[in-house]
Structure 1
Amino acid sequence: MRIAACQMVSGTNIQANLSTARALIDSAAQSGAELVVLPEYFALMPKSDQELLDMAEDFGKGPVQQAMSEAAKQAQIWLVAGTIPLKADDDKHFIDACIVYNPNGEVASRYDKIHLFQFERGEERYHEGQTTQAGKEVKSVNIETWEGVWKVGLSVCFDLRFPELFRKLDTPDIITLPAAFTTFTGRAHWDALLRARAIENQCYVLACAQGGVHESGRQTWGHSILIDPWGATVAELTQGEGVLLAEVYENRIKQARDILPALKSRTL
């Protein structure tokens, strides 16, 4: 199966971001991608989290969700729509939701980001828990293609640091990770953590990132990447907007698990 990650450098104009996302999705689909992933906060990289709170949509309706549903249907792809802010249980928080659309434009799954980023280094600080409501349920989705059915485990950005979440996905074929890693943490940890998740779960990991300097002043690491079940890099971008295209093979997953049956050897 051919898959794609659409790396972006999202700004503060929602319509402009949606136009960019749509162009990248269409480019990926025209190149034969059947599964396309967008980054975290693809529709808005705000100057403050209050902006994400203000744009939060009711689940199942709203301009961002409608645009993504139409994009998936018109391109005839499975779309992991990065994250979309949804209304939470109170008006002081939003949900950072990863919504998966099938080729009919229907919602196939929704994963709410469980682990909320907290970081402080000089003047650079983030505390997502102040405005984001954490999810509670691990999610995966089976996607049907011409080649067969693939089990896709869903995760978002800071989840990457918590291997127990990925164990609960119960041996997916592919893990997707929309992200907006900071440049500082990305340079230090991005590659090592992604590679570890692929090796220990013996599956493909497709990470789709924000990658550049944003209007808000935030700097994101980029380096969207596909890693295979043996921990090898299949394809990678660096900075800026673009489409990462690559192939995944079912027999590569089987080969890794047959050569080193680590998943069968688990005792905990």
Structure 2
Amino acid sequence: MAVTVAAIQMCSGTDPKRNAEAMERLVREAAAKGAHYVQTPEMTGALQRDRAALRAVLKPEAEDGIAATAARMAGELGIHVHVGSTAIARPDGKIANRGFLFGPEGQKLCHYDKIHMFDVDLDNGESWRESAAYTPGEAARLVDLPFGRMGFAICYDVRFPELFKSQAQAGAEIMTLPAAFTRQTGEAHWSVLLRARAIENGMFLIAAAQGGVHEDGRETYGHSMIIDPWGRVLAEAGDAGEEIILAEIDASAVAAARGKIPNLKNGRAFALDLPMDAGKTGAAGKDAAA
């Protein structure tokens, strides 16, 4: 079944209410252009480096304005709305980097908590410790939609191919990767990582990104993308500011790509022989030489 999907690029600020208003405007525009599935970026609700300020605006899932707005729009427009992620207050006092998918009747279909934490030190002096504020997720998620089986990942998850492979082997035909990639890492790795994950798993990949200079001072790379199972870029946004990209996808292309290159079926278990320590002697060495 062919369907038009959209990825929304944003430049979220620090105020969740303003971000919700921007999200609603953009989702409505995407739906008016024919999108039946619309994805927003990672941290749609707020990009805020000040942890105390972030905690001051956090809400639990049941009270979160971004999730409520997305659910309402999905029901009103009769489409699937995927909040790439937003910061959610957990019952234990910690924070989840959580994405939500809502169905055409406004119902919550599933949520996904980002598994891999962005704890890095970059060459330009940027240092990020996502694990200092967020609790990582522990489970991958799959959901069956009318147009295909969908899997979920968020931003830094793209650097862990086993997450994508496990979902592909479980039948995922479409993977989602909302993100807020830094400009430095985006310029170096964004496109090649996305295309690699799509190619090696023979699946569509939809990646809505943050793009531009944000109120909290960070700069994100943009370049939201929709990629097909052969690694072709079907749509790509610019490097900054709001933008909507659309593409038509059809799950039959997944079967075609996997039929041509069935690497998911051809994989084999193998042993890993570690190098021997030439300086060691003893019975094991004597046996090997005998």
**Shared fold (TM-score, shorter chain, > 0.5):** yes
Q: What is the alpha-carbon distance in structure 2 between the residues aligned to residue 123 and residue 56 of structure 1?
A: 28
Structure 1 counterpart of 2:267: 266
Question: Deviations 1:96-122 (Å, cap 9, x if unpaired)?
Answer: 011111111111011110001012235
Amino acid at match of 2:220: T
Q: How does 1:37-116 map to 2 (within 5 A)?
A: 37-91=39-93, 93-116=94-117
Structure 1 counterpart of 2:179: 179
Asked whether the equivalents of residues 199 and 231 of structure 2 are also in contact (C-alpha less than 8 Å), the reply is: yes
Amino acid at match of 1:161: R
Q: What is the alpha-carbon distance in structure 1 between the residues aligned to residue 128 and residue 200 of structure 2?
A: 29
Amino acid at match of 2:261: L
Select 1:142's aligned residue among 139, 144, 153: 144
Deviates more, 1:51-60 or 1:170-179: 51-60
Instruction: Give, in angstroms, the shift of residue 168 of structure 1.
Output: 1.8
Matched, 1:249 2:250: yes
Asked whether the equivalents of residues 171 and 201 of structure 1 are also in contact (C-alpha less than 8 Å), the reply is: no
Q: How does 1:187-266 map to 2 (within 5 A)?
A: 187-239=187-239, 240-266=241-267
In the superposition, relative to structure 1, how do residues 252 and 222 fare at CA in structure 2: closer, same or farther (>3 Å)?
Answer: same
Structure 2 counterpart of 1:158: 156
Q: What is the alpha-carbon distance in structure 2 between the residues aligned to residue 255 and residue 137 of structure 1?
A: 29
Instruction: Give, in angstroms, the shift of residue 73 of structure 1.
Output: 1.0
Asked whether the equivalents of residues 206 and 227 of structure 1 are also in contact (C-alpha less than 8 Å), the reply is: yes
Q: What is the alpha-carbon distance in structure 2 between the residues aligned to residue 56 and residue 197 of structure 1?
A: 32
Question: Deviations 1:118-148 (Å, cap 9, x if unpaired)?
Answer: 122354211000000000001111112xxxx
Q: What is the alpha-carbon distance in structure 1 between the residues aligned to residue 64 and residue 132 of structure 2?
A: 24
SS in 2 for 1:217: coil
Q: What is the alpha-carbon distance in structure 2 between the residues aligned to residue 237 and residue 140 of structure 1?
A: 26
Instruction: Give, in angstroms, the shift of residue 88 of structure 1.
Output: 2.4
Q: What is the alpha-carbon distance in structure 2 between the residues aligned to residue 128 and residue 63 of structure 1?
A: 23
Instruction: Give, in angstroms, the shift of residue 238 of structure 1.
Output: 1.3
Structure 1, unmatched stretches of 5+, are none
SS in 2 for 1:3: strand
Question: Deviations 1:5-54 (Å, cap 9, x if unpaired)?
Answer: 01000111222111111111001111111111000111111142333333
Deviates more, 1:98-107 or 1:46-55: 46-55
Instruction: Give, in angstroms, the shift of residue 89 of structure 1.
Output: 5.0
Structure 2, unmatched stretches of 5+, are 270-290
SS in 2 for 1:179: coil
Q: In terms of Rg, which structure is larger?
A: 2
Asked whether the equivalents of residues 207 and 225 of structure 1 are also in contact (C-alpha less than 8 Å), the reply is: yes
Instruction: Give, in angstroms, the shift of residue 90 of structure 1.
Output: 2.8
Q: What is the alpha-carbon distance in structure 2 between the residues aligned to residue 166 and residue 52 of structure 1?
A: 30
TM-score after normalising by structure 1: 0.94
User: How many matched pairs?
Assistant: 263
Structure 1 counterpart of 2:120: 119
